[in-house]
Structure 1
């Protein structure tokens, strides 16, 4: 029954590497740009340290606009930008461009929500002791919210693992591309089953690891 799968083992290995590249780049971009954006969203919100209604509305609107795009449409809409940045629209690195652009506002909103769960009293105590905004962000907000941030990052990774599978529709490579080329177009049901099981296993492992790490970091 799984003769096709055995013959495609090298392809499966390559698809796992390609998926790792796509997800790794997008998650790295989310951490590098999405986390600061999420912190800024929180700080400029009503009643916060850097309250700025105008800036908050602008940033929040931009985040909402990008998040409102279905990923497949965003993937196609960003083809010109992808070609400009990496010189091609095919392959995992090219697919990582729209994935990254989608991941940044997605994680920014998760960061903002996690920071809102930090006790107001803890922030006020830090202000009363004369802590700077920088110190409050790094030593209070991010420290207190680290369990929530870990769970948010876990949700992000799991979500973009499935998004990366959609990138296979436009030649992004990865597990989704393998499922479409062999499982769907060539009617190789065993390949489709294995790719689905592979995604399920990856999600379970990532979620379990994220939950365990969040539990370890939660000192409440």
Structure 2
């Protein structure tokens, strides 16, 4: 594949392509990790505080649900600009690969949390009631019943989130966030090198296909278990 691309696009700055590919993988990898660390407990909490659930609390549910909906409603390109002061406070700069990670996490963690909540809602209520009748605590129900039962759905949601992050990482190039999106903007748009844009697009499509295939296989594996 690499040899074919080089042959088809001989004028492309290939060292820059590979460098920005690594930047994209770094951004997406770190952002996915923190998105999971924030979105999973947030999604569990929203589910538990919903009406009729184990920790039913209407006020907490409304607050959490509203916060999630608000951040999900903000277009990512606008979010990038809105949180520039917070990004500078957190990482010391508003440009570069590291500066792209906070908005990526803030933009996708609420989205993933909602997917987690949806997966938990699909768990058979009878399984939860059986665990309660056996004297299981709320923590035990969460860790030994809810999350294991919802694991295929959660992994499918994480795969969707990962694919979304690939697209968001490209948008971060609009404010100098690095990665393939930044390369396509600098060379493809500003310098009119359309071949760079085409190559960057092809690589991102391939990334999405690989991530989706890997995620689907994980989901299928845990669904069988």
d(CA) in 2 for partners of 1:27, 1:106:
12
- The answer on 1:97 being equivalent to 2:102 is yes
Which residue of structure 1 aligns with residue 84 of structure 2?
79
Contact kept, 8 Å, 1:21 with 1:93, in 2: the verdict is no
For structure 2, which runs of at least 5 residues remain unmatched after alignment? Answer: 1-7
Structure 2 counterpart SS, 1:47: coil
Which residue of structure 2 aligns with residue 180 of structure 1?
185
d(CA) in 2 for partners of 1:59, 1:111:
14
- The answer on 1:41 being equivalent to 2:13 is no
- The answer on 1:131 being equivalent to 2:136 is yes
d(CA) in 2 for partners of 1:11, 1:219:
42
Which residue of structure 1 aligns with residue 64 of structure 2?
59
- The answer on 1:4 being equivalent to 2:11 is yes
TM-score, with structure 2 as normaliser:
0.94
For structure 1, which runs of at least 5 residues remain unmatched after alignment? Answer: none
d(CA) in 1 for partners of 2:31, 2:46:
20
Deviation at 1:3, TM superposition (A): 2.2
Which residue of structure 1 aligns with residue 201 of structure 2?
196
Deviation at 1:4, TM superposition (A): 2.0
Q: Over aligned residues, Cα RMSD in angstroms?
A: 1.0
Contact kept, 8 Å, 1:4 with 1:188, in 2: the verdict is no
Which residue of structure 1 aligns with residue 111 of structure 2?
106
- The answer on 1:70 being equivalent to 2:81 is no
Which residue of structure 1 aligns with residue 220 of structure 2?
215
d(CA) in 1 for partners of 2:19, 2:115:
31
TM-score, with structure 1 as normaliser:
0.96
Count of aligned pairs between the two proteins = 218
Where in structure 1 do 4 or more consecutive aligned residues deviate above 2 Å? none
- The answer on 1:141 being equivalent to 2:109 is no
Structure 2 counterpart SS, 1:48: coil
Deviation at 1:37, TM superposition (A): 0.5
Q: 1:50 aligns with which of 41, 46, 55?
A: 55
Which residue of structure 1 aligns with residue 157 of structure 2?
152
Contact kept, 8 Å, 1:118 with 1:141, in 2: the verdict is yes
Deviation at 1:193, TM superposition (A): 1.0
d(CA) in 1 for partners of 2:11, 2:52:
60
Q: 1:21 aligns with which of 19, 26, 37?
A: 26
Which residue of structure 1 aligns with residue 37 of structure 2?
32
Structure 2 counterpart SS, 1:118: coil
